[in-house]
Structure 1
């Protein structure tokens, strides 16, 4: 009965350490990592094929994938941002994002599209309707395992991908300094199709 406690303690320790690592990056290192990440993402077949792509606005020194937005729009791709769904057991919905999208801060202080009172008639998509999702990670390893923030928002929102087809491709993104040799894995962690950092692309083992 002690194994889950040990695993959870390990995951909490990894979160503290890896968040400190990315916070220690200078603005210049952050910018260079963002540019390198976006170059790698543009070469991925999953990104080149997608027509409805969700990504995120960086927070807490997360690697910045938003420079990809202009490139996606030039290709006719619709871009979406995650929105916390109240009364939905901490799940995510996704809202079409463009230059005129009104934004608000959610309860974590993260900017997201304003969907209150039908703001700008936001076009919301459920997770299953997306082609590709770029999600932030706290940590990853060479086996393609991931460590999130611990809230379980992405895990709950994309739990259906274990059994449903078609489904969106899920790609985690992170600074390469967030890589570790091996992460303790939880049963609820949703498998990813790939993890991309500023220095590498990791494909999970079959």
Structure 2
């Protein structure tokens, strides 16, 4: 079995090998997968992310949700607590900055932050996923740490839906799991939308 780091390397190479045309068509197909889910599209507050390192392009989905008058939030590195994310309201007209990882994020504004538990849907990046709803991230643990408090809320049905976004080629038969890994409620790819039962 490959180690978690070996899997990250393998999966990053897979998605980096995709042509620009494949990336473009995959992004459009992923967008349609999400838009075709009525229980998702009836929600209002969505956290997404700006794609990086050959991740599936979220721009079509961002534009579609904005056109549907949804409220969007992007992750920003927590300015006071290392290793955590905050989700800040986003509009295309807002000023952006580049964080220490070279990823664009909205310029910090405390009044625009949405508490994680008040989001309806959180779309997460991932390096790999399996058919149990397990997600393997880049290794920094930002999403796992940020989302962990949701496990302790008294009303699980009211917590955000966690949905991973990926290329088809990022599926793996069975991921090696760590205790801190946050499972997904669903995974969306260009060809499929998987849903997973909460344990």
Whether 1:20 aligns to 2:9 is: no
**Rounded Cα–Cα distance in structure 2 between residues aligned with 1:56 and 1:168:** 15
TM superposition shift of 1:122:
5.5
Name 1:151's counterpart in structure 2: 140
Name 1:202's counterpart in structure 2: 194
Whether 1:142 aligns to 2:131 is: yes
TM superposition shift of 1:130:
0.8
Whether 1:192 aligns to 2:176 is: no
**Rounded Cα–Cα distance in structure 2 between residues aligned with 1:80 and 1:130:** 9
Q: Is the 8 A contact 1:140 1:180 kept in 2?
A: yes
Q: Is the 8 A contact 1:41 1:47 kept in 2?
A: yes
- For residues 30-69 of structure 1, the aligned pairs below 5 Å read 30-69=23-62
Name 1:3's counterpart in structure 2: none
**Rounded Cα–Cα distance in structure 1 between residues aligned with 2:26 and 2:165:** 11
- What secondary structure, in the 3-state scheme, does the structure 1 residue paired with 2:144 have? helix
- What secondary structure, in the 3-state scheme, does the structure 2 residue paired with 1:61 have? coil
What is the CA RMSD across the aligned residues, in angstroms? 1.6
Unpaired stretches in structure 1, ≥5 consecutive residues: 1-6
- What secondary structure, in the 3-state scheme, does the structure 1 residue paired with 2:25 have? helix
Q: Is the 8 A contact 2:126 2:138 kept in 1?
A: yes
Deviation string 1:25-49 (CA, Å, 9 cap, x unpaired) is 0110000110110000001234212
Equivalent in 106, 111, 127 of residue 116 of structure 2: 127
Q: Is the 8 A contact 1:57 1:111 kept in 2?
A: yes
- Rg (Cα) greater in structure: 1
Whether 1:178 aligns to 2:170 is: yes
